[in-house]
Structure 1
């Protein structure tokens, strides 16, 4: 079964008096692939603008928006409708023998292709991250599935989700020290931990589909906003999704938009404005991801 869904992503910036705007770049369009078929999409603002589309070096779609007039409010409205194919309850996956234990044995070609996702990026000045990383392996080797399960469980049992207004992503050391953070913080800590264990891992920004919201119930952590999680490359299975914020993997829930080596390469919306520093009065973000229908997967017909 496939879900026909719609995403409406709105961001509004407010200012005390009219300011001028530089070019803005947005990442909101889900990545095309075997699991996603896009039907239509649009990018609009409340001010006059010119829009064009480019792809970056990682094949992410970037929307480039040039604002043509000043204003006291700038609103971006992104809409996407598409078909999403997923598998519920995917808890096991086939692995080649060389990927069944930690450390995973990548081939020379894989090392070349995955080099940017294997090397840790963040500093570990006091060694606390290295010590925490070692706690997930019983010895020199351990079962890959068990290590991933323990790592995912540690976020559920030891960390607290905490939203904040400040932009950017915490360092893994800060997230580990405070045992708290946003979805982007948790994803970045998990990625850097996996890299220290010898896994190729990358950052993913996108959307979280929560079926509970379709019925008006309380949603999962991260719904109603953009979301972030992790992909790990395991020979035999390929790139697999892990969401440390909600302990999710695969299924219909995670809709990828952008992949990156580090969070700074996958910012949902970024741009500039010109005015007095005190003019800025804040921003608001609203993301709605809804199922509007179902259809039979062609592979099942």
Structure 2
């Protein structure tokens, strides 16, 4: 099964008086390949701009925007029409024997390719993240999938979800200490904990398709907004998605836009402006992901 969808993502910045803008980076275009395809896309701004596209070091699509006029409001609108194929749950993908227990045994070639995603990025000055991670492997009979599922379930059941539009991601230690966070914070905590257990993990930004939205309801946490989750590299299964916010492993709900070593690399929109600090009045984000059609799955 695949889904044809329309995506609209509008970010609006308000200022007390006209300010000038430096270059902005927009990362909104979903990745193609086996996960889906793009039929059309557009990037619009309310003031004159010049857009240049590039592909970053991790092959994410990045739009660089240069503005030529000052304004008291900046509005950037992304529109995408695409098809999302999704993934079957991870239980449909058997693991290689060397991936069935923790720590996973990566080959030398895999180590070379995955090393950037295996090294912890965030500081853990009090050792709280490492200690929290090790608690999930206290028993020597646990399989890799048991550990991953239990960690994801623990995050989803013991932490309190608190949405916020402000940019930035809490440190994993801060998320544990506060007992709350956003989808970005949940994913980052799980990534850094798993890296301390020897897993290769990467941060994923994108969108969450929630069928309930088509009926005017919200069924999953984080739907109707940008979303974040993680992927873990498991020999035999490859990069598999884990969404601790909704306790999802793959499926047809996650529309991937970009991957990164850490969350700061894939902000949906970032840039600079020049004026007095008190001129900034705030930011508003509106995201709509709407299903247009569902197509049947073809059998081999």
RMSD: 1.4
Counterpart check, 1:14 vs 2:14:
yes
How far apart are the structure 2 equivalents of 1:276 and 1:230?
38
The residue number in structure 1 matching 2:27 is 27
Structure 1: state its 5+ residue gaps. none
Contact 2:175/2:189 (8 A) holds in 1: yes
Per-residue CA deviations over 1:67-97 (Å, capped at 9, x if unaligned) read 1111111101100001111245554421000
Q: Secondary structure at the match of 1:14?
A: strand
How far apart are the structure 2 equivalents of 1:188 and 1:89?
22
Contact 2:210/2:218 (8 A) holds in 1: no
- Number of aligned residues: 300
Counterpart check, 1:94 vs 2:94:
yes
Q: Secondary structure at the match of 2:146?
A: helix
How far apart are the structure 2 equivalents of 1:195 and 1:130?
9
The worse-fitting range, judged by mean Cα deviation, of 139-148 and 220-229 is 139-148
The residue number in structure 2 matching 1:77 is 77
Contact 1:175/1:181 (8 A) holds in 2: yes
* TM-score calculated relative to the size of structure 2: 0.97
Counterpart check, 1:156 vs 2:147:
no
The residue number in structure 1 matching 2:111 is 111
Contact 2:14/2:282 (8 A) holds in 1: yes
Contact 1:152/1:247 (8 A) holds in 2: yes
By how many angstroms is 1:139 displaced?
A: 3.6
The residue number in structure 2 matching 1:215 is 215
The residue number in structure 1 matching 2:299 is 300
How far apart are the structure 2 equivalents of 1:281 and 1:261?
32
* 1:40-59 alignment, distance < 5 Å: 40-59=40-59
Structure 2: state its 5+ residue gaps. none
Contact 1:102/1:141 (8 A) holds in 2: no
* TM-score calculated relative to the size of structure 1: 0.96
By how many angstroms is 1:300 displaced?
A: 3.0
How far apart are the structure 2 equivalents of 1:89 and 1:191?
19
How far apart are the structure 1 equivalents of 2:59 and 2:99?
26
Contact 2:52/2:63 (8 A) holds in 1: yes
How far apart are the structure 1 equivalents of 2:209 and 2:145?
25
How far apart are the structure 1 equivalents of 2:231 and 2:38?
22
The worse-fitting range, judged by mean Cα deviation, of 197-206 and 164-173 is 164-173
The residue number in structure 2 matching 1:127 is 127
1:200 to 1:87, Cα distance in 2 relative to 1, 3 A: closer
How far apart are the structure 2 equivalents of 1:166 and 1:293?
33
Per-residue CA deviations over 1:16-48 (Å, capped at 9, x if unaligned) read 111111111000000111121100000000101
By how many angstroms is 1:252 displaced?
A: 1.2
Per-residue CA deviations over 1:269-294 (Å, capped at 9, x if unaligned) read 00111111111110100111110012
By how many angstroms is 1:155 displaced?
A: 1.1
* 1:152-301 alignment, distance < 5 Å: 152-297=152-297, 299-300=298-299
